[in-house]
Each structure stands twice: as structure tokens, then as C-alpha cells.
Structure 1
């Protein structure tokens, strides 16, 4: 959706716009397929993951196929710059996942590390979607940067909200257990706020390190984080990035497409699943 709306501010070939949108969607799907495999996730949004249904080898190949198909769609835009941004985004996503896998725990408790990780994981694709859509419509360079900035800030807000929902969301809506990130040892913004305020805590760090005894310990850790004010601090941070995304649109024409982006920003910060 972000790609298609970004192409609407100026003149764009609708066929090329659809090709670009398909490229981004396939790239995103491929990253989710490989992400589920790396995390050994058996369900996504309540449905079995590909690795749960097919097995590891077939899942890797399916993800690789979608990466290649996405690149084909990107090439159909006939824009060297769009294809270059597409490739850079893929490198950013894969590099971020590799860094997260290889890094030790040291340094993970900083907001700086967290923002680097979610840029690679999520915001880079949002930013590229806005930028590539603008380029395809031959927007002036300042407008291209504005739509990239919009996507970047929206993507950060989206991921922060996603991380918050891991603590406060409904398991039925999320399609996964509450506290899934904690169980996998993934340190997100609410956990960072909590541990910075409670550096001597053992209950949460025990779950993060995989040394917990069962679901009751996970639920206790989740409740501790929820009661600490970390959720409210993280929500305020998401809203700050959402405000930056709205500000990035200030120089764009006042029309239905700008309003659609403002509505999208509202949805991102208010969503419950």
C-alpha cells in the first residue's frame, strides 16, 4: 500500500507501480519465511509457518525463490535507481538478521542497538517503499527524501508497536503466545526500559537467557514489565516517531493521498494486532 500511494503524488506508469508493489510484497514475504525458520517459529498469525508444514530445506528454497521473483518484478520498473535501492534494502535486512544472530548479548541493552536492529529488520523496507514509489513517479528530489523519511519513521513506529503488543496484545489476535520475544531471548524496547530501571532483576533476565522453568515464569516476567511503566514509555516513543512521519509529509501536496498516509500513521500507532 505504501508503494502505491507514494507513486500517486506525481505521474507514474500504473503497470510499473504494480510491479514495484509486487516486488516489495514478495521481498517482505521472503524475509518472513526465512525469519520463521531462523526463529524456529511454528505459527504466524495463528497459521502454521512454511517450515512447520514443509521442512527446513524446502523453506529455504521457497524463500530464495521469492527473493529472486521479487528482484524480477523490481527490474520491470526499468529504473536502475529503484533496483539499486531494492538491492540495498535486501542487504540491510539480511545484514541486520546476520548481526543479530552473531552478536553476543553485550550491548543489546541500549536503545541505539535496538534502533539499528529495527531499522534493518523493518524500517529499511518502509523507507525504501516510500523512496522507490516517489522515484518511479519522477517526484522532485526533496519530495523523494520526504517520502523516504516518512517511511523510515513510520517503520520504526510500526516495529515499536509490534514489540509492545508482544506484552499487551491478545494471543488470539496476535496468533502467538504473549511474551514470545522474551521466550526467544529477543530484547525489545519495553524490556530495555525495564532492565535499565531494574538492572539487578533476575526474573526477566532468566527468561531472556532461556533458564526459565515454565510458562508461569514467562507470565510473571511479562507482568513485571507491564507494571513497570515500560509499556507507557515505549508507547510514547512510538508516538514520537509517528509524529515525525507526519511532519515529513508537510511539503507534499494536500490531497487524498497525503491524507491516506496520515490515516496509515494513525492506524499504525492505534492497531491492536
Structure 2
């Protein structure tokens, strides 16, 4: 289980309101679960060059683990999406499947944004571009309450009464990774050939209250990587945002993911 930007593996261990997280739930379903912390995040050693840590740097570190313990199902979220596509292309025998939770797309299908902070700022409300931001790469990025509430804690199913506890789980992030996530200067992580993923079962899951992941965007990602796409409202599940693993129906979503794996013998 691989977290996204500004988060750690804590988002899979327990919810801010004290419920069991996806990791123990999957473990109880007889899965061996590895909860990853990116370099410089959570339980991983500090990273002196955190501000310039690239998406590929992190992907390479996860690739080492996957090749040691695989074949494994990669459950990824948000900014770890591009890492999953890159890893699955390079380690096809070690990646049994990918579960993408509002995953970032490979840069192959993202618009190239200019390396111009003012120009990117004018695009910050463009949902079709993922509400991009550009940050200076001389220091790590720290986000405040307003950002968290706009993009991560905005959904009806988010446990608002536990927001203060959730805030404690948020960590500084690589500025370079932020910029790559929005393909600024064309520097996002790409894959060589989407056909290389054709034999890998992939499911992409998206909720209806995720401002940076409108349905059309994640459907396009699914088409490109050859994934099944699950828009949660189509299953009668409404009110989820960017953090379904900690929202109030996290158990129901986890059970759906486990059923998908069971149906494929994974």
C-alpha cells in the first residue's frame, strides 16, 4: 500500500477517527500487507534533499521492494499512481495487479504546463488540469488547513470531527514531485508503452467529490493504461472525495477492493 503526496503509510493503518484502516482489514482477509513510507516520509529515514526528490527516485525505491517480495498487488493513491504505471512496466512479473485510488496519470497523457509560476497560477482552478500549482524547488512544500480542506477533507464522507487528528498525519513534501505531478515543463513521470501493461489487471477507483480527479480525467487514465474504471456512484456509493481510505465508508470500499481481487484469484 503506497500513500500519496504529503501523506504517509498512516493513512492505511488507521482512520483519524480511530477506526481500523485498510492495512489491517486486508491483513484480516489473509493478505500479507506491506505499508510503504516514501523516502523522507513517516518511518523512513530523513532525506536531506527532500525538496528535490523526484517521482522516479521514489518509484525506484519501491521497485526494489516489489522485486523482493512480489508478485504483489500495488495499491496506490494519488501521486503514487505515476509510480505504479512506471513500476508495472518494468517489473511485469513482480506486479500481480494495480489498485489505483484516484491515481495520477502517466505524464504521457497530461498537458505540458509552462515553467512559469504566474501562468500556472492562472490555471489553478482548471479542474481539467487537476487544479495545478507550481512551487519553488529550493525547499519542501508544506500545506495548510485551507489546502487540506479544499482538496483532501472536502467530501461529505470525510470525518470532519477528526480533522485535527488528520492534520497531524500531514508531512512536508518534495517540491519537485509536486511540479512533476502536474507535468510542469513536461517533467512528469512517463511510461514507454501502455501496451506493456496489457497483461496486468488494473482497477481505478474514483469518488464524486474529488476536485482534482473528475470522472473524465480518471476515465482517460483508465483507457490509457488498460484499466477497469469504477466510478463509485455507479455502485451506489456517493459522497467520497480524495481520501476514501479514511472516510466514513472506508470499510465498504475496502470490501469492494477485496472482492475484485478475489474474483481474479489474487
TM > 0.5: no
TM category (shorter chain) comes to: 0.3 to 0.5
| Larger strand share, 1 or 2 | 2
More helix by share: 1
**Computing the radius of gyration over CA atoms, which structure comes out larger, 1 or 2?**
1
TM-score by length of 2: 0.32
Q: When the two structures are superposed, what TM-score results if normalisation uses the length of structure 1? A: 0.32
